[in-house]
Chains A and B, each alone.
Chain A
Amino acid sequence: MLPQTMENRISRTFDRKQDRLLNIYFTAGYPKLHDTVPLLQALTEAGADLIEIGMPFSDPLADGPVIQQSSSVALANGMNLYVLFEQLKEIRATVPDTPVLLMGYLNPIMQFGMENFCREAAAAGVDGVILPDLPLLEYEDEYQVIFEKYGLQPVFLITPQTAPERIRHMDTLTNAFLYLVSGPGTTGSANTQAAGTQEAYFERIAGMNLRNPRLIGFGIGDKASFDHASHYANGAIIGSAFIRALEDAPDAPAAAKQFVSSILH
């Protein structure tokens, strides 16, 4: 079990605020290669509480069509981990307190080297990492030591099928938050479960009295779904809907501010 008191930007954020935390995901290098940092700044200024930056991958298994598309565009724009870390070098000068997490898939990081990746991420002021295809066991066996060495928090996904003992185990391995996947489906997919199913799942997890706060993601896309999710957790994560809002925007940072405002106000 990790020390409960370990300080990081993520836990400080949740100490300050427990309700309606808005976590926005976007793909690095989308819509334009150098939009990454301006978007990060705009989202923070507009009131997003946490930011997830997607590291584009050619074969994003857990993602729906919108993030598949933004990933392809970002890769075509020339995004890769070297470019991303170069872009993120100075972010803490302008975005001092907002937690920044990197989300992506294992293979590009394996080629970059996990230790190199963690060192660069920590040096840039990244707080946490979400790798959906990194299994719990592999994390503990091979990578936990490296994450801890660089003070990075892992974020684990929970689904309606995740066994309670497994959730409790994940809860001991992080001081960030637990990522509740809203239901069966890839990112951006609508809730097709029978009425009440999703709510019962959210309540079941809430009732477990876990150490870590909870954010709900997948299929959250507007004020109504954000408010609904926030009722059952500490807040929610929006990705695909935000990417869609950037799609044809002439000014991506302006569109970002407008989007955040539409969720929070």
Chain B
Amino acid sequence: MATISSTPSAYAPSARGYYGEFGGAFIPEMLYPNVEELRDQYIQILADPAFQAEQQALLRDYVGRPTPLFEAKRLSAKYGTRIFLKREDLCHTGAHKVNNTVGQILLARRLGKTRIIAETGAGQHGVATATVCALMGMECIVYMGKTDTERQRPNVERMRLLGAKVVAVTSGSQTLKDATNEAIRDWISNPVDTHYIIGSVVGPHPYPDLVARLQSIISEEMRTQLQEKIGRELPDYVVACVGGGSNAAGAFYHFLDEPSVQLVAVEAAGKGINSGHSAATSVLGTPGVIHGSRTLLMQDEHGQITEPYSLSAGLDYPGIGPLHAHLGSSGRARFISIEDEDALRAVAELSRLEGIIPALETAHALAALGQLGAGPEEVVVINLSGRGDKDLDTYMKYAEALNSYA
């Protein structure tokens, strides 16, 4: 397996963590020593051969990497273009999230931390964190909005089975934003022994860069696999869903400096962009500070952060990572937003055409296929970020609609 490279990119953050005008580290003084320690050490630790050897062994033998790149021929026939699926849904724990938690738990150990905290929305990051904590014998506390604990019950049970303590967060909207607030408050209260494993490319510098680097294995493998399958490393399109943006960051990473590759980020429009029930931050967001990062976020005229909505618990975050805010504002990435109903339609479609039940988050990326305008000779890679088992309750609730689509 190839090593995770750290090729300098035009889209790499500045020394202070800025991607264009977005990024930085807007954190209370209580977090400064922790974030500073991480900032001063992460690049060196990630580049350390002993770290890489351990990380690569785990990614191969435990996570199951490299994940396949599967040519979806029936889906391709339907959309009149050549579609490949990067099967992150086949990772251990069922989503790409574990790429990041494997790296961060090894990092935490090297920093001498003994206690791990995490936030989670859909529960995939929480499960991925609980999994690596079990593997390493470390204490694990996962903050999850109470609303999300109810709509993603199986993931709560998985985390508990793995030995993690799941804290149901009852402040604010009781979803991902509030779970992140509580995790940050925990870190403020436990500054010495605790490492905070953020699950997405959000938060204060260096988290967006750290998580993007740990997820960049996705696009690194894509290049190698495309070379094998189509004789060239570069596709014409790379498509990924964006909540905070970790799977998209990983899928885009090694294509950022390849202008021929169109990067397509797909957000959740919820019930519609203008419905007041949406999570399409690139459209509805304005610059501000959320969770330690200057980025685009959904807020009212007074700078109060508003409640996002999506049927998928993993996409209803009111911000996006600063890298994505920059990719959007600079025009490097194209942003598309997909409504709940179209995402459900894509769930049915992939299930019936390819025998793969995607996560509801991932289905948003699939639903963008019709809007790409990709030609018959063009190659589209969709990052299949997660599998749909966790969404079965939701799918059962909408069974009639799902069957009618098929």
B177 contacts which chain A residues (CB < 8 A)? 59
* Closest A residue, CB atoms, query B37: A161
- By size class, the interface of chain B is 20 to 34
Contact A111 B28, beta carbon cutoff 8 Å: no
A61 contacts which chain B residues (CB < 8 A)? 28, 181, 184-185, 188, 291
Bound together, the chains give a CA A92 to CA B185 distance in angstroms of: 36
Contact A133 B27, beta carbon cutoff 8 Å: yes
Interface membership of chain A positions 178-191, coded 1 if the CB is closer than 8 angstroms to chain B and 0 otherwise: 00010011100100
Contact A133 B28, beta carbon cutoff 8 Å: yes
A82 contacts which chain B residues (CB < 8 A)? 302
A161 contacts which chain B residues (CB < 8 A)? 30, 32-33, 191-192
Contact B292 A133, beta carbon cutoff 8 Å: yes
User: In this assembly, does A68 line the interface, its C-beta being within 8 Å of a C-beta of chain B?
Assistant: yes
Contact A57 B304, beta carbon cutoff 8 Å: yes
A94 contacts which chain B residues (CB < 8 A)? none
User: In this assembly, does B303 line the interface, its C-beta being within 8 Å of a C-beta of chain A?
Assistant: yes
Contact A107 B288, beta carbon cutoff 8 Å: yes
User: In this assembly, does A162 line the interface, its C-beta being within 8 Å of a C-beta of chain B?
Assistant: yes
B292 to chain A, nearest CB (A): 7
* Closest B residue, CB atoms, query A159: B30
User: In this assembly, does B9 line the interface, its C-beta being within 8 Å of a C-beta of chain A?
Assistant: no
Contact B27 A135, beta carbon cutoff 8 Å: yes
Q: Which of A141-182 contact B (CB under 8 A)?
A: 156-159, 161-163, 166, 181
Q: A62-B30, A108-B304 are in contact. Are A184 and B190 (CB under 8 A)?
A: yes
User: In this assembly, does A249 line the interface, its C-beta being within 8 Å of a C-beta of chain B?
Assistant: no
Bound together, the chains give a CA A186 to CA B190 distance in angstroms of: 10
B171 contacts which chain A residues (CB < 8 A)? 65, 68
User: In this assembly, does B29 line the interface, its C-beta being within 8 Å of a C-beta of chain A?
Assistant: yes
Contact A133 B289, beta carbon cutoff 8 Å: yes
Bound together, the chains give a CA A83 to CA B66 distance in angstroms of: 57
User: In this assembly, does B16 line the interface, its C-beta being within 8 Å of a C-beta of chain A?
Assistant: yes
User: In this assembly, does A15 line the interface, its C-beta being within 8 Å of a C-beta of chain B?
Assistant: no
A108 contacts which chain B residues (CB < 8 A)? 302-304
- In the complex, besides A62-B188, A181-B29, A185-B188, 4 extra interface pairs with C-beta distance below 8 angstroms are A59-B177, A59-B181, A62-B185, A110-B303
- Interface residues of chain B, those whose CB is within 8 Å of chain A, are 16, 24-30, 32-33, 171-172, 177, 181, 184-185, 188-192, 286-292, 299, 301-305
- Interface residues of chain A, those whose CB is within 8 Å of chain B, are 57-59, 61-62, 64-65, 68, 75, 80-82, 105-112, 132-135, 137-138, 156-159, 161-163, 166, 181, 184-186, 189
> What are 11 contact pairs spanning A and B, CB under 8 A?
A59-B172, A59-B305, A62-B28, A62-B30, A65-B171, A107-B288, A107-B299, A111-B299, A133-B26, A133-B289, A138-B24
